[in-house]
């Protein structure tokens, strides 16, 4: 049996400022709203509430965002992401 490292994998860090204490996972999402009709002037009336069904882990263009320096960067290759 191979010896395993007991070190925890490192958190990704912002490539610009180096911090890794406050990172955000961001992605491009499609927002779906119900079209409820057309008013008397021809304006399309759309429900203000989103239609959501749980969450979708297959959103487009996932990446990390550093709010400290307003930088977006790729999730390091090989990193597995789990939503909880
Ligand atoms: Zn940063």
Ion ligand 1: residues, CB within 5 A, are 14, 16-17, 66, 68-69, 71
Give yes or no for residue 59 having a pLDDT over 90.
no
Residue whose tokens read 């290759």: 77
Ligand 1 centroid distance, CA of 63 (Å): 13
CA distance linking residue 81 with residue 84, whole number of Å? 10
Give yes or no for residue 53 having a pLDDT over 90.
no
Ligand 1 centroid distance, CA of 79 (Å): 19
Please report which confidence band the pLDDT of residue 6 belongs to, taking 50, 70 and 90 as the band edges: confident
């Amino acid at each position: 049996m191979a010896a395993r490292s007991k070190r925890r994998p490192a958190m990704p860090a912002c490539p610009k400022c180096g911090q890794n204490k406050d990172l955000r996972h961001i992605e491009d999402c499609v927002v779906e709203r119900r079209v409820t009709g057309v008013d008397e002037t021809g304006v399309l009336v759309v429900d203000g509430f989103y239609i959501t069904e749980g969450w979708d882990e297959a959103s487009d263009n996932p990446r990390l965002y550093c709010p400290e320096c307003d930088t977006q960067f790729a999730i390091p290759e090989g990193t597995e992401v789990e939503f909880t």
